[in-house]
């Protein structure tokens, strides 16, 4: 068999000889939810025709190998695609290679290839197909680049690119420019296509050169601004998010994201992007990260977003945008897909935590942010896939409530009268006098609520929400910063703080006594140190002191003996005188 007769070469010739028929925007729209054969594959197959199955399978296997898809399950699923889908993917791959290389179609050796692919427009990574109908983001072609869908179209004919412009370093240098002044929508789109279609080694080199960090910094610059973002900034933002998604779609990129959670935190800020397509893309990316072991980083990112927006609830800003978008003028199918991606993320965040108390807490956070007011609006869409997600959400919330509070719910399930509930509450407080005092104080404050019926309703609704979140937050401590309650601290931590305060009051006198004892010990220590200093005398000094003391004693003893001798002499002299007198008197008497 000659080289030109191999299935691979025959397939390539067939791709290069595709009829020059323009393909409409709807013809290349893929099915977002499951990537099953849709309008794109059917219309493409009908217009262009499909070569023999053997040729398509050979080219498709080469494509999987070039993209580094090694997972057996993924390869098996992709190989089970029908020929129409495989053929569409092969042609999109060919068109993407031409776009990245920067070569005009007329420069190709086969003019048929240029003519056939001149109208093909890749819109989305095949890993996340999207229907962008009413407001599509820039469609990159080999002949023009649409800067903004809502502004006058500006076509830019690509110039022949140097080889250096296809290297990762070229894109990194562009994104390193302050305020992204050197980054155009065309460059950002080329980077996204390169990350999605080039080899795994190219993506790894981009990550090794800190390209992921540079993209995260650029996205942070765009989505942290408080000013209104215009069309160009919005288009750059969506292209950067798509590039980050292409990076995370590789093992190396996924590990890099887990090692640097701040990259994930930056992506979360784009869930508030004014462009709904970007928010949808971010939702899909966050779902993938949650199931890849990064759910804690996602939770932490929402907490950072809450603090940045100064919201009360963890998901207030996200749920507000979600609810408002449901009323926007968006094509019905696109609106369904947007709602579906958001509901999948909601269910993921509710189901991922392993501890039931954490799951209940997440559900309460969504309810406090208005999820229950969104579900009826979604139900009106009457979409099968969306209804599945709505049912899963309600079922998960109810199951977690039953698991965590089934006994508590059963205690009051048969009670409907306020006086009966009051008696049960009073009975439960019988063993805690201080708690009874606090309960009585709460009742007194409730009497201060005045106004009409609606005002009282709003007061008690707010009190109900606060009490519900407090009693249902049974996490013992906020051992990580992945979660945050409405008040920025877990209820368990707050209760522990009260206990610590009571204990501090009880040991205040003990602390004073210990302080006095401490001062007494310090005085005693000083005395002991002085005694030790006195004992630290050398033996020579001791002998000298003993000798001096002995000499003093001998001197005193010698002086005493001298005095005694003197006294004795005086006594003897006196006795001699007396004896002489007695002798004289006796002689006279005789």
CATH at residue 137: 1.25.10.10
Q: Is the pLDDT reported for residue 123 higher than 70?
A: no
Domain assignment present for 69: yes
Q: Residue 169 corresponds to which tokens in the numbers above?
A: 């370093």
pLDDT value at residue 109: 38
Chain centroid, CA 539 distance in Å:
73
pLDDT value at residue 413: 65
In 3D space, the residue among 205, 17, 5, 7 whose CA is nearest the CA of residue 94 turns out to be: 17
Beta carbons of 331 and 381 less than 8 angstroms apart: no
Which is more confident, 177 or 292? 292
94 & 217 share domain: no
Domain assignment present for 448: no
Q: Residue 168 corresponds to which tokens in the numbers above?
A: 């990762």
Q: Is the pLDDT reported for residue 356 higher than 60?
A: yes
Which is more confident, 427 or 511? 427
Total Cβ atoms within 10 A of residue 407: 7
Mean pLDDT, rounded, for 387-412: 83
pLDDT value at residue 18: 45
59 & 14 share domain: yes
Q: Is the pLDDT reported for residue 247 higher than 60?
A: yes
pLDDT value at residue 1: 46
**One-character DSSP codes across 150-185:** TS-----PPPPPPGGGGSHHHHHHHHTSGGGTT--H
Band the pLDDT of 194: cuts 50, 70, 90: very high
Q: Which residues pair with 140 in a beta bridge?
A: 145
* Per-residue pLDDT tens over the stretch 326-346: 988 888 889 999 999 999 999
Q: How far is CA 134 from CA 161, 233, 328, 352, 431, in A?
A: 33, 19, 11, 34, 65
Q: How far is CA 212 from CA 124, 178, 268, in A?
A: 20, 17, 15
Q: Is the pLDDT reported for residue 224 higher than 50?
A: yes
Q: Which residues pair with 145 in a beta bridge?
A: 140
Report d(CA 152, CA 422) in Å as an integer: 68
79 & 173 share domain: no
- Write out the residue range of the structural domain in which residue 554 sits: 539-590
Q: Residue 161 corresponds to which tokens in the numbers above?
A: 């690119």
In 3D space, the residue among 178, 160, 162 whose CA is nearest the CA of residue 170 turns out to be: 162
pLDDT value at residue 568: 85
pLDDT value at residue 121: 33
Domain assignment present for 347: no
128 & 257 share domain: yes
107 & 149 share domain: no
Report d(CA 474, CA 358) in Å as an integer: 8
Band the pLDDT of 26: cuts 50, 70, 90: very low
- Percentage of the chain surpassing pLDDT 90? 30
**Which residues, 6+ apart, have CB-to-CB distance to 114 below 8 Å?**
104, 105, 106, 107, 108
Q: How far is CA 120 from CA 92, 132, 383, in A?
A: 7, 15, 31
Beta carbons of 137 and 275 less than 8 angstroms apart: yes
Report d(CA 84, CA 470) in Å as an integer: 56
Band the pLDDT of 131: cuts 50, 70, 90: very low
Domain assignment present for 97: yes
Residues 435-463: b if buried by 16+ CB within 10 A, e if exposed: eeeebeeeeeeeeeeeeeeeeeeeeeeee
20 & 135 share domain: no
Radius of gyration of the chain measured on its C-alpha atoms: 45
221 & 206 share domain: yes
Domain closes at, from 64, 97, 122: 122
Which is more confident, 524 or 95? 524
Mean pLDDT, rounded, for 549-567: 86
Beta carbons of 218 and 175 less than 8 angstroms apart: yes
Q: Residue 154 corresponds to which tokens in the numbers above?
A: 């500006």
pLDDT value at residue 37: 37
Lowest mean pLDDT among 214-218, 235-239, 429-433: 429-433
Q: Is the pLDDT reported for residue 182 higher than 70?
A: yes
Mean pLDDT, rounded, for 218-241: 87
Find which of 81-90, 377-386, 574-583 is predicted with most confidence, using mean pLDDT. 377-386
Band the pLDDT of 212: cuts 50, 70, 90: very high
211 & 185 share domain: yes
Q: Is the pLDDT reported for residue 244 higher than 90?
A: yes
Q: Is the pLDDT reported for residue 287 higher than 90?
A: yes
pLDDT value at residue 134: 34
| Torsion on CA atoms 78, 79, 82, 88, rounded to nearest 10 | 60
Mean pLDDT, rounded, for 316-328: 91
Domain assignment present for 533: no
Mean pLDDT, rounded, for 226-253: 89
Report d(CA 577, CA 165) in Å as an integer: 144
Q: Residue 543 corresponds to which tokens in the numbers above?
A: 């002998």
pLDDT value at residue 566: 86
Domain assignment present for 197: yes
DSSP letter for 414, please. T
Specify burial of residue 15 (Cβ count, 10 A radius: 0-12, 13-18, 19+).
Answer: buried
In 3D space, the residue among 361, 188, 328, 345 whose CA is nearest the CA of residue 271 turns out to be: 345
Q: Is the pLDDT reported for residue 38 higher than 60?
A: no
174 & 110 share domain: no
* Per-residue pLDDT tens over the stretch 100-119: 555 444 433 333 333 332 33
DSSP letter for 249, please. T
Q: Is the pLDDT reported for residue 136 higher than 50?
A: no
What average pLDDT does the chain have?
Answer: 76
How many distinct structural domains can be found in the chain?
Answer: 3
* Stretch (H or E) spanning 343: helix 332-351
Domain assignment present for 146: yes
224 & 141 share domain: yes
* Per-residue pLDDT tens over the stretch 148-164: 333 333 333 344 444 57
Domain closes at, from 261, 281, 310: 310
229 & 92 share domain: no
pLDDT value at residue 496: 63
Domain closes at, from 78, 97, 122: 122
Report d(CA 7, CA 5) in Å as an integer: 7
pLDDT value at residue 468: 74
Which is more confident, 436 or 68? 436
Beta carbons of 233 and 222 less than 8 angstroms apart: yes
Q: Residue 352 corresponds to which tokens in the numbers above?
A: 């991922």
Beta carbons of 305 and 298 less than 8 angstroms apart: no
Band the pLDDT of 480: cuts 50, 70, 90: very low
pLDDT value at residue 178: 81
Lowest mean pLDDT among 74-83, 347-356, 504-513: 504-513
Report d(CA 23, CA 122) in Å as an integer: 11
Q: Is the pLDDT reported for residue 20 higher than 90?
A: no
pLDDT value at residue 207: 94
115 & 141 share domain: no
- Percentage of the chain surpassing pLDDT 70? 71
Beta carbons of 299 and 261 less than 8 angstroms apart: no
Report d(CA 429, CA 175) in Å as an integer: 63
Domain assignment present for 193: yes
């Amino acid at each position: 068999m000659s080289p030109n007769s191999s299935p691979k070469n025959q397939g390539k010739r067939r791709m290069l000889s595709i009829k020059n028929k323009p393909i409409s925007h709807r013809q290349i729209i893929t099915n977002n939810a499951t990537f099953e054969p849709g309008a794109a594959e059917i219309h493409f197959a009908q217009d262009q025709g499909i070569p023999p199955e053997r040729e398509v399978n050979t080219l498709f296997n080469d494509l999987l190998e070039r993209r580094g898809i090694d997972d057996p399950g993924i390869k098996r699923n992709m190989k089970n695609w029908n020929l129409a889908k495989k053929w569409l993917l092969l042609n999109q791959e060919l068109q993407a290679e031409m776009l990245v290389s920067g070569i005009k179609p007329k420069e190709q050796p086969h003019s048929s290839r240029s003519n056939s692919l001149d109208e093909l427009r890749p819109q989305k990574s095949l890993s996340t197909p999207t229907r962008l109908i009413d407001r599509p983001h820039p469609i990159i072609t080999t002949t023009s680049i649409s800067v903004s869908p809502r502004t006058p179209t500006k076509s830019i004919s690509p110039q022949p690119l140097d080889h250096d412009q296809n290297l990762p370093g070229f894109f990194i240098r562009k994104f390193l420019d302050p305020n992204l002044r050197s980054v155009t929508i065309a460059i950002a789109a080329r980077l996204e296509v390169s990350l999605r279609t080039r080899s795994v080694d190219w993506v790894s080199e981009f990550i090794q050169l800190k390209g992921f960090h540079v993209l995260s910094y650029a996205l942070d610059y765009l989505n942290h601004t408080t000013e209104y973002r215009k069309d160009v900034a919005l288009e750059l933002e969506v292209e950067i998010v798509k590039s980050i998604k292409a990076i995370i779609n590789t093992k190396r990129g996924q590990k890099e994201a887990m090692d640097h959670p701040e990259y994930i935190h930056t992506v979360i800020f784009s869930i508030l992007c004014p462009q709904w397509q970007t928010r949808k893309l971010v939702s899909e990316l966050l779902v993938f990260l949650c199931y890849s072991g990064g759910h804690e980083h996602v939770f932490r990112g929402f907490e950072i977003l809450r603090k940045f927006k100064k919201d009360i609830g963890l998901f207030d800003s996200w749920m507000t945008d979600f609810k408002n978008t449901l009323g926007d003028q968006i094509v019905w199918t696109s609106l369904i897909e947007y709602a579906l991606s958001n509901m999948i993320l909601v269910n993921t965040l509710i189901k991922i935590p392993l501890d039931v108390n954490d799951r209940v807490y997440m559900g309460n956070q969504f309810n406090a942010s208005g999820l229950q007011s969104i579900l009826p609006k979604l139900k009106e869409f009457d979409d099968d896939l969306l209804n599945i997600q709505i049912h899963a959400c309600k079922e998960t919330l109810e199951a977690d409530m039953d698991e965590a509070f089934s006994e508590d719910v059963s205690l009051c399930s048969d009670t409907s009268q306020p006086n009966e509930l009051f008696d049960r509450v009073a009975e439960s407080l019988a063993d805690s006098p201080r708690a009874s005092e606090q309960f009585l104080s709460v009742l007194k404050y409730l009497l201060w609520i005045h106004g009409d019926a609606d005002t009282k309703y709003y007061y008690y609704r707010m009190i109900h929400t606060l009490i519900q979140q407090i009693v249902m937050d049974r996490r013992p401590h906020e051992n990580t910063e992945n979660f945050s309650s409405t008040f920025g601290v877990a209820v368990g931590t707050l209760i522990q703080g009260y206990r610590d305060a009571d204990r501090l009051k009880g040991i205040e006198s003990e602390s004073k006594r210990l302080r006095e004892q401490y001062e007494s010990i310090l005085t005693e220590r000083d005395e002991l140190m002085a005694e030790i200093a006195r004992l630290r005398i050398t033996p020579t000094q001791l002998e000298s002191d003993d000798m001096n003391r002995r000499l003093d004693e001998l001197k005193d003893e010698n002086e005493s003996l001298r005095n005694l001798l003197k006294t004795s002499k005086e006594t003897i002299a006196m006795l001699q005188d007396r004896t002489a007198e007695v002798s004289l008197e006796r002689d006279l008497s005789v």
